[in-house]
Structures are given as structure tokens and as C-alpha cells.
Structure 1
Amino acid sequence: MKIGELSKTAGLPVETIRYYEKIGLMPAPERNASGYRQYRSDHRDRLLFIKRCRNLDMTQDEIRELIQLTNEPEADCGEVDALLARHLNHVREHLAELTRLEKTLERLQKACSRGRTVSECGILDGLNSEIGQLEDNHPANHVPGTHGK
């Protein structure tokens, strides 16, 4: 099948498929005589596997590790379990960070009172007064910890 058909089958853009090939998550397809990529069912299966992993918020490195582990079908699956345990721990940390973010936003929202001007806005004042604290604890992330790990 051609890349457009694979894209429709998997529900992913062509650019994503090419990207996964470029970074080595997808094996390179064979090319026909006219140079078009020819994908097989194992390409579709791999792409759907990657998509399921991404839906679980797994990183490219985690997916790569799982793919490598699938190449050893007789090996003990303890490494797969350990990878999932690490990922679950990351998800739990992320949830805790989101809870802290929610509480901060709620606190800021409570600082607002009706009938005031923007120059008197409690939310903006709170953002200005807390900005140093937020930067010290969570640099450069809109949700602390989500992009740095």
C-alpha cells in the first residue's frame, strides 16, 4: 500500500509516518520501480502500535525500547513491566503537578473581584507577584515537569 492509504488506515498524517521513519521507529519501506514507498501490513501494525503508545503518552525512547523488546519474543517480560512502572510513575508525577497547577489557578481566580479595572486586577497582580516563585520551581514549562522529562 502507498503512504496515503497507510495514513488513512492508521488515522495519522503522512508527515507523522515519514517522521517516524526518519527517527527509526518505523522500518523503511521498500520502493517500487517508480520510487514510491510500498508499505506492508507489518508497517501498519507497527504504526498502530506506536499510535497506541503515544495515546498512553509514552515517549519516543520508551516506544523504541518496547519495539526492541518485541524483537526478543522469548525474553522475560520483566523489562516491559519495569518500563511500564516507570511510565506510570511519570504519569502520577504529572497528575500531582497538574493538581498543583489547578490549585494555583484557583487561588489566582479567587483574587479577582468584580467592578475593578485591569490595573487593579487581582489575577494579574497575583501573576506578577508569584512569577519569581513559579520560575524558580518550574522553569520554562507551562505545566511543570511535562516537557523536561
Structure 2
Amino acid sequence: MPRTLAVFVLSLCLAPTAGAEVYTWIDRNGVAHFSDFPPGKIPHRQVAIQPPVTMPMQENLRQQKRVSDIHDDIESMLSATDVPGREHNRNQAREKAADKQEAVCQEYRRKLDRIQSKLRAGYSNDRGNTLRRQRRDVSQSLSRECIL
């Protein structure tokens, strides 16, 4: 296993990058063509392909946390000049919202557990497809609303 992994990593490191050139031209009929080979004597131009921009999920989560912290700091600075009892009301509202969100998350987890137990118990093919679809939908909702 370690040898296979080493060969795989080595092959990825030594593999050439996908840097193919793309050419485009329009023929006499007005049809646009794209190719990785130039069309010869036909007038053409090379298309500049930009590499995809990706941001790792972890960095995205860190950035969201930083923005939330800045938002909270600004909110606390603005509320410092407000009426004294207002901050207490805001904290209560936040706690209430957090409790409500936790209840929603718990309900998603209960639904997911119930679907999982039905899948483990056995099912017909059509019923299994329905259960897997429900599991996927509930799992996505749980991830979207409770984890991320």
C-alpha cells in the first residue's frame, strides 16, 4: 500500500500540467470552431484560458468567521451608545434564536436517524430510492443550516 501511494504521488508530481492551447476561427459559413490545433492558413486567434479560481472550504469558513466577528464588533460599538436595557434584550433575542436553531438541528438529526434505521431494516428497491432521496435532502438541509 505505501509503495502504491508513493507511485501515485510521484506520478502526480511528474505529470505535465494541462496547458493545451485553444484556437478559434470562423469558417466561410459563419460557424465558429474551437480546436487544440491551429487551422493552418485560415485566420484564427488563440483563446486565453484562465485557470479556475478555487477557495478551500476551510478558508471560506475562516473568512465567514472573520466577517461575523467584525460585524459583532461594529454592532457592539453602535449599541454602546444606545439605551442601557437594549443590550440585554438583544442578548435574550440572540439566545432565543440560538435555541430555536438548535431545535431545528435536533429535528433534522432525528429525521436522519429515523431514515437511517428504515434503510438498515430492509426495503424494496423503490422504497430504498425514496429513503435515500429523503436522506440526501435532510442531510443537505442539516449541513446547510446547522454545520456551515
With normalisation by structure 1, the TM-score equals 0.40
Higher radius of gyration, 1 or 2: 2
Structure (1/2) with the larger strand percentage: 2
